[in-house]
Structure 1
Amino acid sequence: MTFPLTGEPLALDLLNTEAATGDLVADPAALTAWLAAQAGRLTPVDSVGEAEVAAVRAVREAARPALDAVRRGERPPAAALRALNEALAAAPSHRVLAWAEEGGITAAAHRPADPARRLAAELAEAVAELLTDPRAGQVRECEAHDCVLLFLPAHPRRRWCVASVCGNRARVARYYARHKGDTD
């Protein structure tokens, strides 16, 4: 499975799993593929089941209205914040110090919880980071008429989630609209 847009802040990548084509993490196989696409950003999950799918979808369902409100400069719905806080509280994190083979000390986050709760907490943390980021108000929706993806533009003139896909479709549509009345 391919995902239309990855590499945005993790919270946006999560929200973008609900695309115009449907739910991209609707079952364990689809969630496994998305987690593989996010390699290195989340603690690996040995096996993905329905509990993990439900946990991820619950965080995503709370994240969308919270982000929509923050983007408008409004107070997020209490239910959304409550759901995100519950996910965070279900798998608290603490640092574990270790000596690395390369000769340095590391302090990795550790969440002693079952995989579904740990995954939900990590994603809720990513959502919390985005909601509190001063750039949260800059998150945009793709301007393509048939796209629902979100992105954080690195350039203020960015209009599409993926310029080579949505941008090209928009340019082609404009071209055909301009030349519709032309004859050969």
Structure 2
Amino acid sequence: MERWLALELVSTIRHDGDGGVTDDLATAHGAIRWIQAQADLLAGHVPAGEMTADEDLTVAVIELRRAVRALFARAVSPAPPSSADVRQLMPADQALAHLNTVAACESVVPQLDWPPDGAPTARLLSAENDPKVRLVAALARAAIDFLSGPQRTQLRACSAPRCVRYFVKSHGRQEWCKPSCGNRARAARHYRRQRAATDGGSTPS
């Protein structure tokens, strides 16, 4: 299954399995664990495995996530957004400005690599020395690439009970982010139908 860095970022807010919501970026150590887990997606931008816990970096990533989640909510509209933060979303214009500002914090230039025995490839060469600035800017650029790409039109907020994830729809009839959410949603629908039948058929005392 294809992974997108922007989707991984917004998915750091997730259902905790007990009816609540957990935040993988709640602590600096948690944020570093998440960053290190994205080493493959960050390859070529920053040495994610060498990053260390830092409160300022954590705050910067969380604020960027707020902006990206607000823009994800805009992308799925008029369908409902994730219920995790729907009441505290950053205004869309503010989110857009923040995303673009963060992406611009790192000066990059495209470089063409073309080995004698291979195909040409492009990479971005950074003029920024601070790996933390490069990291947050890379996350912002990943969100820009995602939201300006074809996958945006397939972005959905999972409607299963208690789920707060966004996902990219991979086939025409997909309603949920994963099979377990589908099972939970169908069970909830069945329960509601049974409850409605019972309530509708009861005789008042």
Q: TM-score range by the shorter chain?
A: 0.7 to 0.9
Tell me the residue number matched to 1:47.
Answer: 51
Tell me the residue number matched to 1:146.
Answer: 162
Would you say the 8 A contact 1:91–1:111 is kept in 2? yes
Q: Structure 1 counterpart of 2:139, which letter? A: L
Measure, in 1, the Cα distance between the counterparts of 2:57 and 2:124.
Answer: 20
User: Runs of 5+ in structure 1 lacking a partner?
Assistant: 1-5
Tell me the residue number matched to 1:85.
Answer: 100
After TM superposition, give the deviation of residue 110 of structure 1 in Å. 2.7
2:4 to 9, 14, 19: 9
Tell me the residue number matched to 2:69.
Answer: 64
After TM superposition, give the deviation of residue 116 of structure 1 in Å. 2.2
Pick closer, same or farther for the CA change 1:155–1:91 going to 2, 3 Å.
same
Comparing 60-69 and 103-112, the one that deviates more: 103-112
Q: Structure 1 counterpart of 2:156, which letter? A: R
Tell me the residue number matched to 2:172.
Answer: 156
Tell me the residue number matched to 2:201.
Answer: none
After TM superposition, give the deviation of residue 171 of structure 1 in Å. 4.0
SS of structure 1 residue aligned to 2:51 = coil
Measure, in 1, the Cα distance between the counterparts of 2:181 and 2:34.
Answer: 21
Comparing 19-28 and 96-105, the one that deviates more: 96-105
Comparing 62-71 and 85-94, the one that deviates more: 62-71
After TM superposition, give the deviation of residue 175 of structure 1 in Å. 5.8
Would you say the 8 A contact 1:92–1:121 is kept in 2? no
Tell me the residue number matched to 2:13.
Answer: 18
Tell me the residue number matched to 1:3.
Answer: none
Say whether residues 1:166 and 2:160 are aligned partners.
Answer: no
- What is the 5 A alignment of 1:112-127? 112-113=127-128, 114-127=130-143
Q: Structure 1 counterpart of 2:71, which letter? A: A
**Deviation readout 1:142-182 (Å, 9 max, x if unpaired):** 1211011000111121122121x32233344456667888x
After TM superposition, give the deviation of residue 8 of structure 1 in Å. 3.7
Comparing 149-158 and 17-26, the one that deviates more: 17-26
SS of structure 2 residue aligned to 1:35 = helix
Q: Structure 2 counterpart of 1:40, which letter? A: D
Provide the TM-score with structure 1 as the length reference. Answer: 0.77
User: Runs of 5+ in structure 2 lacking a partner?
Assistant: 16-20, 79-90, 199-205
Tell me the residue number matched to 1:128.
Answer: 144
Question: If you compute each CA radius of gyration, which structure gives the higher value, 1 or 2?
Answer: 2
May I ask how many residue pairs the two structures share in their alignment?
Answer: 173
Q: Structure 2 counterpart of 1:14, which letter? A: L
Measure, in 1, the Cα distance between the counterparts of 2:151 and 2:33.
Answer: 29
Measure, in 1, the Cα distance between the counterparts of 2:142 and 2:177.
Answer: 20
Pick closer, same or farther for the CA change 1:18–1:102 going to 2, 3 Å.
farther
SS of structure 2 residue aligned to 1:161 = coil
Would you say the 8 A contact 1:7–1:13 is kept in 2? no
Question: % of aligned pairs identical?
Answer: 35
